[in-house]
C-alpha cells in the first residue's frame, strides 16, 4: 500500500448496516498507518487501531450554507495534517462534492463507493443528478458492490474504464461444528423450541420486504402451524409491521428482536431453517425507481451457515443468490409466490439442505474477502 488515504462516510460503526460494515472492512484491510477515517460523532464509538476523527459534519445552523461546509473544512484540515494522498468517498453526496473541491484545491484524487440506492434515490432532482454525474466522472475510480451497481454508476457518469466491482464479503467464516445445546437453550428462552424458523436480518425499511413475508404467512400456516418468524433490526417500518401482525393475527408466530448482539445473531443464523428477505425496487407514482437493494450480504452470511435463502429478484440480489443453487429468488411483489417458495423449502427437506450446502460452498469460494481485498489494494495503489 503506497498511498495514505482518508475514508469519509456517515455510515461507520457503531452505526449498523451493510455499508457501515463494508467500509470498516475496507479500513481494516490496509496497514493502520495508511488509513484515516472521518465520520460523525458518536458517544458509543468503538476504538480501532487506525486513527478515527469523529466530528459534526453537517451544520445545524440556518446561517451556514451549504450545510456540509463543516464536512469540507474537516476534510481539508485532516488532509493537510495527515498528508493524505487519496480520499475514499463513502457516499456520493455530499462527500463526493467535497472530495471534488479538494481535488481542485489540493490535487488529491478520490474514489467513490456506490451501492445502488444512492444512485436511484436522487433521480427526482436533476440538480443532484448533475452533481452525481460530475463527481463520478472526475473520480479516479468508482467501486460498485455488484455488477448491477457498476452498471448504474456507468449510466450516471462513471467512466467504464475506471469502474470496478468489489463484492462485500463476510469476514467471519462459521465452522460447521457448533454447540447444539447452546442453540436449543437460546431458542427455548425465546419461546421458539421445536418450531420451523424463518429469519430476516436487516433495517426495517420498505425495500427489504418484511411486509410481504407477513402477508404470505397466513398461506404458509395453512400447511404448517409449527412456524416462527423472527424479524431483527430497527427502522421506520416497525409500527407498520406491528400493525400487519395484528391484522393477519400473527402474534403467536412473529417475534421482533430489534436489538441483538453479534453472538445472538450467530445463534439465530444457526437456529433458522430459512433466511428470507424479499427485497424489491420501490417506485414513486410516476413509476420511477426510488430505492433498491444493491447486493445483500446477509444472504451470503446465511449461506455460510448452510441455510437456504429466499430473496427478491431485483437490484443486485440475483448476484448474492444463485437461483435454484444457493436459494430461491422470487417476485417480491406477490405474496402468493413468496408463500409458495417458503412452503417448498419447508416441505422438501432434501432440497433445503442441498441449497444450503451449495450456498455455503459458493459463499466460501466466490465471496472471499482475501481475494477481493487484493483487488481493493490494486485500486488504492492507483
For residue 121, the model assigns a pLDDT of 85
**Residue 236 to residue 327: CA distance in whole angstroms:** 28
Q: Which three cell numbers stand for residue 262?
A: 453479534
Angle between the N-to-C axes of helices 335-347 and 349-366, in degrees from 0 to 180, rounded to the nearest 10: 100
- For 329-334, the CB contacts below 8 A with 24+ separation are 330/278, 332/209, 332/212, 332/278, 332/279, 332/280, 333/212, 333/280
Q: Which three cell numbers stand for residue 274?
A: 430459512
Q: CB under 8 Å to 138, separation ≥6 — which residues?
A: 100, 103
Dump pLDDT digits (tens) for 167-214: 999 988 888 778 889 999 999 999 999 999 999 999 999 999 999 999
| DSSP H or E stretch at residue 352 | helix 349-366
Angle between the N-to-C axes of helices 18-27 and 297-304, in degrees from 0 to 180, rounded to the nearest 10: 80
Q: How many residues does the chain have?
A: 382
Is pLDDT of 122 > 90? no
Q: CB under 8 Å to 267, separation ≥6 — which residues?
A: 182, 183, 186, 187
Terminal C-alpha separation, the chain: 10
Taken in order of first residue, the domains within the chain and their CATH numbers are 5-169+368-381 (3.40.50.2000), 180-366 (3.40.50.2000)
**Residue 231 to residue 302: CA distance in whole angstroms:** 14
Is pLDDT of 1 > 80? no
User: Which residue reads 474477502 in cell numbers?
Assistant: 369
For residue 176, the model assigns a pLDDT of 75
For the residues 10-23, what does the mean pLDDT come to? 92
Assign 370 to helix, strand or coil: helix
Q: CB under 8 Å to 32, separation ≥6 — which residues?
A: 48, 49, 50, 51
Is pLDDT of 338 > 90? yes
**Residue 147 to residue 294: CA distance in whole angstroms:** 9
**Residue 287 to residue 285: CA distance in whole angstroms:** 5
For residue 287, the model assigns a pLDDT of 79
pLDDT grade for 289, boundaries at 50, 70 and 90: confident
Q: How many helices (H) and strands (E) does the chain have?
A: 15, 15
Q: Which three cell numbers stand for residue 82?
A: 495527515
Please state whether the peptide bond connecting residue 14 to the residue before it is cis, i.e. omega within 30 degrees of 0.
Answer: yes
Dump pLDDT digits (tens) for 351-368: 999 999 999 999 999 999
For the residues 364-374, what does the mean pLDDT come to? 95
Nearest Cα to Cα of residue 202 among 299, 304, 288: 299
Q: Do residues 251 and 245 make contact, with C-beta atoms less than 8 angstroms apart?
A: yes
Mean of pLDDT over the chain? 95
**Residue 10 to residue 234: CA distance in whole angstroms:** 18
Q: Do residues 316 and 147 make contact, with C-beta atoms less than 8 angstroms apart?
A: yes
Q: Count CB-CB contacts under 10 A for residue 161.
A: 8
User: Which residue reads 416441505 in cell numbers?
Assistant: 347
For residue 284, the model assigns a pLDDT of 85
Q: CB under 8 Å to 260, separation ≥6 — which residues?
A: 232, 268
Nearest Cα to Cα of residue 178 among 260, 274, 303, 263: 263
Please state whether the peptide bond connecting residue 70 to the residue before it is cis, i.e. omega within 30 degrees of 0.
Answer: no
For the residues 128-143, what does the mean pLDDT come to? 97
Dump pLDDT digits (tens) for 31-84: 999 999 999 999 888 899 999 999 999 999 888 899 999 999 999 999 999 999
Dump pLDDT digits (tens) for 82-120: 999 999 999 999 999 999 999 999 999 999 999 998 999
Q: Which three cell numbers stand for residue 232?
A: 431483527
Amino acid at each position: 500500500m503506497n498511498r495514505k488515504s482518508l475514508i469519509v462516510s456517515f455510515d461507520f460503526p457503531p452505526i449498523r448496516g451493510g455499508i457501515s460494515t463494508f467500509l470498516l472492512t475496507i479500513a481494516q484491510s490496509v496497514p493502520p498507518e495508511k488509513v484515516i477515517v472521518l465520520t460523525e460523532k458518536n458517544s458509543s464509538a468503538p476504538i480501532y487501531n487506525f486513527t478515527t476523527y469523529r466530528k459534526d459534519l453537517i451544520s445545524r445552523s440556518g446561517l451556514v450554507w451549504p450545510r456540509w461546509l463543516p464536512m469540507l473544512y474537516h476534510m481539508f484540515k485532516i488532509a493537510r495534517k495527515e498528508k493524505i494522498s487519496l480520499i475514499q468517498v463513502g457516499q456520493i453526496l455530499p462527500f463526493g462534492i467535497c472530495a471534488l473541491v479538494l481535488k481542485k484545491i489540493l490535487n488529491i484524487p478520490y474514489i467513490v463507493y456506490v451501492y445502488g440506492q444512492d444512485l436511484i434515490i436522487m433521480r427526482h432532482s436533476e440538480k443532484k443528478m448533475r452533481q452525481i454525474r460530475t463527481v463520478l466522472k472526475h473520480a479516479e475510480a468508482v467501486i460498485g458492490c455488484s455488477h448491477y451497481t457498476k452498471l448504474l454508476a456507468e449510466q450516471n457518469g462513471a467512466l467504464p474504464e475506471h469502474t470496478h466491482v468489489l463484492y462485500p464479503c463476510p469476514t467471519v467464516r462459521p465452522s460447521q461444528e457448533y454447540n447444539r445445546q447452546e442453540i436449543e437453550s437460546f431458542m427455548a428462552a425465546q419461546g421458539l423450541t421445536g418450531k420451523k424458523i424463518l429469519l430476516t436480518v436487516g433495517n426495517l425499511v420498505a425495500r427489504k420486504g418484511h411486509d410481504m413475508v407477513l402477508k404470505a404467512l397466513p398461506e404458509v400456516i395453512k400447511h404448517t402451524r409449527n412456524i416462527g418468524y423472527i424479524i431483527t433490526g430497527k427502522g421506520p417500518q416497525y409500527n407498520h409491521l406491528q400493525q400487519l401482525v395484528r391484522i393477519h393475527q400473527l402474534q403467536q408466530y412473529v417475534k421482533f428482536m430489534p436489538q441483538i448482539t453479534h453472538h445472538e445473531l450467530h445463534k439465530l443464523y444457526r437456529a433458522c431453517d430459512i433466511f428470507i428477505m424479499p427485497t424489491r425496487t420501490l417506485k414513486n407514482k410516476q413509476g420511477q425507481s426510488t430505492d433498491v437493494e444493491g447486493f445483500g450480504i446477509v444472504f451470503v452470511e446465511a449461506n455460510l451457515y448452510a441455510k437456504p435463502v429466499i430473496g427478491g429478484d431485483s437490484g443486485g440480489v440475483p448476484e448474492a443468490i444463485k437461483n435454484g443453487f444457493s436459494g430461491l429468488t422470487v417476485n417480491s411483489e406477490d405474496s402468493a409466490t413468496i408463500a409458495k417458495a417458503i412452503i417448498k423449502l419447508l416441505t422438501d427437506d432434501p432440497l433445503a439442505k442441498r441449497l444450503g450446502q451449495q450456498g455455503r460452498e459458493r459463499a466460501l469460494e466466490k465471496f472471499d474477502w482475501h481475494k477481493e481485498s487484493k483487488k481493493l489494494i490494486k485500486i488504492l495503489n492507483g
